[in-house]
Structure 1
């Protein structure tokens, strides 16, 4: 991942804002409890964490990413925004990380994964990790590429071919997996397609 993002990190946010749809809607809907904690799994450049810190000024925020190159950019952006006291970053694998060792707490009021599952080979483990990190009353929020189900077939073919060049794979079974995790863990699941299926969003809530 460092090899991929060593250069891309410098213009990642500028280009992604045009096609990573639904990120800001996810952030606006997080609504953590007063003084609550939130973690982004796969935080990249820190763009979402900074937006969440501004939108929810009482929250404590954490982020992990497997790429140290991306984290270097995230740390610089967080510092430039004056948010180093509220946003804690650490290197970690989305499929298996020890939040207690990294951050001093094992669970969080809000967990979010924004356009990360489609980039992770073992995405089901990453999804389960997100659910396992929920505190009582907590919620996992997800947004990622959908299956383009209400868009023209040629669009889907071109988009998936282009995403494939960057090792990005939208998962047709995302909602099925969310429901399975909910059933196995006593969680409540919700999901929907957005923008005619361009993006999918999902939630898992505990309690």
Structure 2
């Protein structure tokens, strides 16, 4: 089995039962997801791809806020996609794929996207930097990459950080403390990059806007 196949099988096993209670339980600690959605400013007819869309919770919220958007989602777990398909029906095009290498034209009939979203997913993707690079490769000129994930918790008590890391490890989640530096390296001279620490560093939020084509 390939590395991607191994990870997909692991995620299916992790979420085979958890997917049924995922949205209820995660709302207490996946903080900043709605902040990301509120900051997106999706215009009518624009395309939005969520990489590792999980149960479709965020795409459903985007549908409510941006009803004229064209929504797409990818996930490596077929189990999570079962929940996403049930939640979204025909309101979003969904496909199973590896975030580190995918062909959106073949999978979804779209070559590039106006908005691409990572929401608490880079911390679950082993080769997360490749996933980030792959997403940027499919971002349209003038498009925007949006992400939120666990931060460095630098302003929170040490006991809280230790406990959080132990808890996250049970679900194969590894925060990426160097994510802000990696985002800065990806930002070109003409790109717009905004990065914010949320909730005393509990979460990190970033938005990278590519310049429009000449």
TM-score, scaled relative to structure 1: 0.94
Quote the residue 1:193 is aligned against.
Answer: 197
SS in 1 for 2:154: coil
Quote the residue 2:208 is aligned against.
Answer: 204
Cα shift readout 1:152-206 (whole Å, capped 9, x = no counterpart): 11111111111112111111100111111114x9633221100000000111111
Instruction: Note if 1:53 corresponds to 2:63.
Output: yes
Cα shift readout 1:68-111 (whole Å, capped 9, x = no counterpart): 011011101113xxxx1x31100011111101111111111111
The ranges of structure 1 where at least 4 consecutive aligned residues each deviate by more than 4 angstroms after the TM superposition are none
Aligned-pair distance for 1:133? 1.7
Aligned residues: 201
| C-alpha separation in 2, matches of 1:41 and 1:187 | 21
Quote the residue 2:179 is aligned against.
Answer: 174
Q: Return closer, same or farther for 1:178/1:197 CA change in 2, 3 Å cut-off.
A: same
1:14-163 counterparts in 2 under 5 A?
14-79=24-89, 84=90, 86-163=91-168
Quote the residue 2:3 is aligned against.
Answer: none
* Counterpart pick for 1:6 among 6, 16, 25: 16
Listed as ranges, the gaps of 5+ residues in structure 2 are 1-10
SS in 1 for 2:200: helix
Listed as ranges, the gaps of 5+ residues in structure 1 are none
Q: Return closer, same or farther for 1:120/1:9 CA change in 2, 3 Å cut-off.
A: same
SS in 2 for 1:125: helix
Tell me how large the CA RMSD over aligned residues is.
1.2
Cα shift readout 1:21-77 (whole Å, capped 9, x = no counterpart): 000111111111221110100000001001101100110000000000110111011
Q: Which piece of structure 1 moves more, 105-114 or 25-34?
A: 25-34
| C-alpha separation in 2, matches of 1:203 and 1:100 | 24
| C-alpha separation in 1, matches of 2:60 and 2:190 | 32
TM-score, scaled relative to structure 2: 0.91
